[in-house]
Structures are given as structure tokens and as C-alpha cells.
Structure 1
């Protein structure tokens, strides 16, 4: 099995501050979930992503506020994003800063996959949250978008308003908290989470720009990422698999090429982490299947293709092997909870 995804203590600390602002006793909640509250003050500590997912779910239950993730917009500061926050601050433009955010995202939290694309209508920063054993909490993605936008407003010194905010899942019963935080057109049931910025906003110079500091922070971030990534090729391969699966079953040589490794080196590194390419592919498909089945707008046929199965019957057989039931039975059980 590959190593579990983790979240930096700096990001976890900001989540906790946002939850406590919403009236949640996180010290007691950490104890309940078997996590170390004191480790929030350790800059090198990291928390298991599944632990953070449980934290989000329990916080929603205790507060009765499904929009509690939006509180992250009120606690944003450079340290929330580890060294990446300072690298973003010292960038020449918002576009350059967001490019750094995409590059170093794994330092903040491994479960997030960011992408910045320049489109004719603007710059799209899209976000995917990949669960570990548990499907990710909706609040995790909403908190990430709210925090990112608040941080961009802070470093630009402007009341930055996106052209569009994309949010997965159905519209909430009360959309007002979302309107207040994002101050932009909201699209729920979107294909992905994301923010669409005006190109002019992305290219405007940042008041805190400092090329020398940017290079210094790049070095620190690169060194941390290299130290942190070390032998964690399984995680990198899993990220590549998540991107490639909708195009069909990925080949090992394609994944190796994406990671700038030879097939043999990829195979050896995965063996060192006590897994294999086939095991990683199977694990990734199983985890994504759980997440997709929790999205009622996706049909079983669409899920089969998103998981890279050319023949849906192969998906049904694999699913029965994973969970001992059919996808339809599994979804029905989810709906009855």
C-alpha cells in the first residue's frame, strides 16, 4: 500500500482556527479523533488526511453549519500556506504567484491537485481534492477556495472579484454565506471546484513583489518538497493516474514518462514503498469509485469510464471484488444513511 496523504500543520492550524471561530471545541475534537492538538504548533508536523476529513464531518455535525469551511477566508495569513505563502507574496504578479501555488501545493496538503489554465475568458484556477481512504469533505474544497481568494485579495491590496466561482455539489439551502465570501457569480453542481479570474487582475503587479525573496522562497520550498517527497513516488504516480484515468487505462510507461523516470526505476521505487503499479492502479480506482458514487449526478456508466474501464462489466467485477456489492447497491446504501 502507498503511504497515506497528509496535511501540513500550518494548514491544519488555520482549519482549526476557522472551526473554533464557528464555535467548535477542536481541542476536545482532536482528542475524540485520536489526533495530537499540540502538534499544531510544530512546523514540521503533518496530519493524516483522513483524520482531517473526519474533523470536517464532526465539525459540521457539532456546529450544524455546512458552510463552516468558508470561515477560512477570515483567518488567512502567509503562514497558513507554509513557505508557499511567502513565495506567493513575493511574486511579481498574481499569475506568477498562483503558478507557484500550483507547483508547491503538495507542501500544504497532498490531497489537493491544483491547475492554472489561461482561457480566452480569463485565468482558471481549478481544484480537485483526492480522498485517501475516505472521500474528501465538501468543506475542505470550499475552505481552500475561500482561503485562496482571501489571500489573493490581501496580497493584491484590492477587493478582487472572480468572474466565476465553481462549486461541486448541489446548491446549499442558504447560499448567502457563499455570496458574502466570494462576491462573485456562483455556479453549483459544477464539473470541478475553481475560480475564474480576469486576465488583467492576474497580470497586475503585486505591491509585495520582491524578486530576491521570491528566489529565496523558491529554494526553501524546493528543498522542503525534495526532502518531503523523497521516496514517495507512489503518491506522485497516483496523482498522474487520477489525471490519466478518464482517458482510458493508463500504461506503466506513460506514468513513468510523466514522472521523468524509466519504467524500471518506477517499478523499483514502488517496490521500495511496498506497492506495485498494478496495486496502485487498483487502489486509486477503488478510492475514486467511492468518491464518484457519492456524487448523484454521475451515472454508473460515466463512473466506469472515468475510472478508465473500456468495458463497464469490468468495472462491476472490480467493484464487487473491492466492496462485496454492486455499485448500485453501494450507492443505495449511501443514500439511505
Structure 2
């Protein structure tokens, strides 16, 4: 099992990055993205910030609606083709830091709830073929009637395997429960093979030994990813260690990885060395992390579609009471009070 299903009554939102490239693709097909989004309860401004959380059902519906309105049966696969690993944000960092392709996929499954809380994954062996299978599971009630979203999830798994192995690996088979919605040529163009439709699960099957091989040059990939997403750019000579840690934590906190070892790895330093350098600059790691959490809480509370329970989970708190105590300490008000009136972070 890759992930433990979360409570679907709490985790009902997905990062806006899930619709990265949506507006451009709709326009390229002669459609009106704003009209499609509005029909699904969204507006274009919702897509401006990739870290914003949007209702999962509305996002899934927008993709299905676009395919239907435009008559583009491979819309989901086209959208997936436009989204690189960077679309996953820090989840991509976790995946690319793994020593093997399989471990990268496992780590992706472990933390996928930070990107799309409705998804989970499980692995099992196909006894008749000797292949290891990865199944994608959705907690959306209408998932069975949304083939575009399913195809995006499965296609993205294929994309990750291709990227992590630098093109050396591909699934032995692709499985989809639903009947084909596009042409055979479209599936072969996007996936490199024709999926097995009407299957017992949605996912992929792969050689169990091949994807356990070390990932080629994964340290180089990780460093490039760190520079782009954790630091924003390679730090200049005048950038203080405190500022580097502050920039890293602003992102690490979103993945529930805001601990000293994770920050040290992001900056290619030993944890004790990093701590000493912070102390030399008069800074403390715990205070920087607290500030990062406070800033993120302010951003999350500004999104009314997020429940307080969901926010507590995203912060890694054991329950909502911990979130309440933190807000009282930071802002002098409870989360509910903060949402009712103007306040300053």
C-alpha cells in the first residue's frame, strides 16, 4: 500500500496546479476557458495561484466539461502532456530525491495528499504475468463517470517513470476500467501503447526488478529541482544562511517536511552545520519554521473552501485544537475569529 486513504469528508480540495495549462489548451482548441470554469463553479482567478486549493469535484468536472464541450476526446491526455514534474511542486522534489524509480513512486504516493487529497495508490503483484502493478484510487463519488481525470492520473504515472528513468523504463501494460473515449492512435501517441480497457483496475504494470534499479543521475536532478523550487534560484554570494533557510521553509512547510534534516538536505549541508551557521547569524531554526507556518496559515485561512480540519492536516497537526492554540499564539485569535474579520498576518 502506497498511501493511507484520508477522510474524504475533510480532504475535499486539490491544488490549483492540477489545472496548469488548462486555459491555454482550451483556447488552442477554440474554446472559452472562462465559460467552462464558470459552468463548473470556478473562475479564471482561481487558477492564478498554483498553491491555492480548489474543490476537487469542480476541478475534475472542468476537465470532463472541456472534453465534452470541445469534442476533444483526448483532452485529459493533452492536458497531462503539458504538465511537467514541476506541476507537483514540492511533491516533485520528494519523488526525484529517491534512489530508485520505485521508491520515487512510493514517496509520491505517500505525500500525494498534499497535491490531491482525493487520490491514493496501492501496489500488488499480478500473479499470472509476474508484473508489479500500481493502482490509482479516487475518493470522488463520481470518479467512475470521469474518464478524463482517470486518464490524467494514469498518464502522469507513465510520465514520472519516463522522467525518473531518463527514458529507460516504460510500463509493460496500462490498465483502465473504462471503455476507450479516444481513438487508438490518440492513446498510442500519448501513452506509447494501447491500454487494456475494461480492466479490473486503473493503473500500470511494470517489471518488478527494472524499476528497482538506481535512478541515473538522480542527485543532479534533485539539485536542479532544489534550486528552482526551494531557493527560487541559485543563492548569490551575499545571500545569508538565514535567508536561504527562510526561503526553503516557505516551501518545505507545505509538504509537512519543515524539519531541520529536510532543510539541511535542501541546502546541501549537514544539520549540525546548518544550525551552527544560523546561530552565528543570530537566528534559530525553530523560530524560522514557526514564521513559515504562520505565513502559510494566513494563506490557508483566506481560502474559505478549506475546512479547519483540512488546514490542521496540511500543517501536520494531530488535531484541530493544535491549530487553534497556534493561531491564538500567533494572532491572538482563534481560526474562526480570524475568518470572520479583517486581521494582519
Q: TM-score by structure 1 length?
A: 0.60
Q: Which residue of 2 aligns with 1:55?
A: 62
Deviation at 1:202, TM superposition (A): 0.9
The verdict on how the C-alpha distance between 1:135 and 1:194 changes in structure 2, with shifts beyond 3 A counting, is: closer
Between 1 and 2, higher relative CO (CA 8 Å, sep ≥ 6) is seen in 1
Cα distance between partner residues in 1 of 2:183 and 2:217: 36
**When the two structures are aligned, how many residues end up with a matched partner?**
240
SS in 1 for 2:309: coil
Indicate if the aligned counterparts of 1:72 and 1:146 stay in contact, CA closer than 8 A.
no
Q: Of 1, 9, 19, which residue of structure 2 is paired with 1:2?
A: 9
Q: Of 155, 159, 165, which residue of structure 2 is paired with 1:156?
A: 165
Residue 81 in structure 1 maps to residue 88 in structure 2: yes
SS in 1 for 2:20: helix
Worse-superposed segment, 26-35 or 49-58: 26-35
Residue 40 in structure 1 maps to residue 47 in structure 2: yes
Output one character per residue of 1:83-132: Cα deviation in whole Å (capped at 9) or x when no partner: 11121122211101000111011112122221233556232111122215
Q: TM-score by structure 2 length?
A: 0.58
Worse-superposed segment, 91-100 or 44-53: 44-53
Cα distance between partner residues in 2 of 1:37 and 1:178: 29
Cα distance between partner residues in 1 of 2:253 and 2:311: 21
Indicate if the aligned counterparts of 2:17 and 2:87 stay in contact, CA closer than 8 A.
yes
Indicate if the aligned counterparts of 1:73 and 1:146 stay in contact, CA closer than 8 A.
yes
The verdict on how the C-alpha distance between 1:102 and 1:26 changes in structure 2, with shifts beyond 3 A counting, is: same
Indicate if the aligned counterparts of 1:92 and 1:209 stay in contact, CA closer than 8 A.
yes
Listed as ranges, the gaps of 5+ residues in structure 2 are 1-7, 227-247, 259-292, 301-306, 323-345
Which has the larger share of helix? 1
Indicate if the aligned counterparts of 1:118 and 1:124 stay in contact, CA closer than 8 A.
yes
Q: Of 222, 233, 251, which residue of structure 1 is paired with 2:256?
A: 222
Q: Which residue of 1 aligns with 2:327?
A: none
Q: Which residue of 1 aligns with 2:98?
A: 91
Q: Which residue of 2 aligns with 1:231?
A: 309
Which has the greater radius of gyration? 2
Q: Which residue of 1 aligns with 2:135?
A: 126
Listed as ranges, the gaps of 5+ residues in structure 1 are 237-260, 270-337
Worse-superposed segment, 147-156 or 93-102: 147-156
Output one character per residue of 1:140-172: Cα deviation in whole Å (capped at 9) or x when no partner: 010111122123212321153211100111234
Output one character per residue of 1:160-215: Cα deviation in whole Å (capped at 9) or x when no partner: 32111001112346222112222235210111100111224312222342398699
Q: Which residue of 2 aligns with 1:295?
A: none
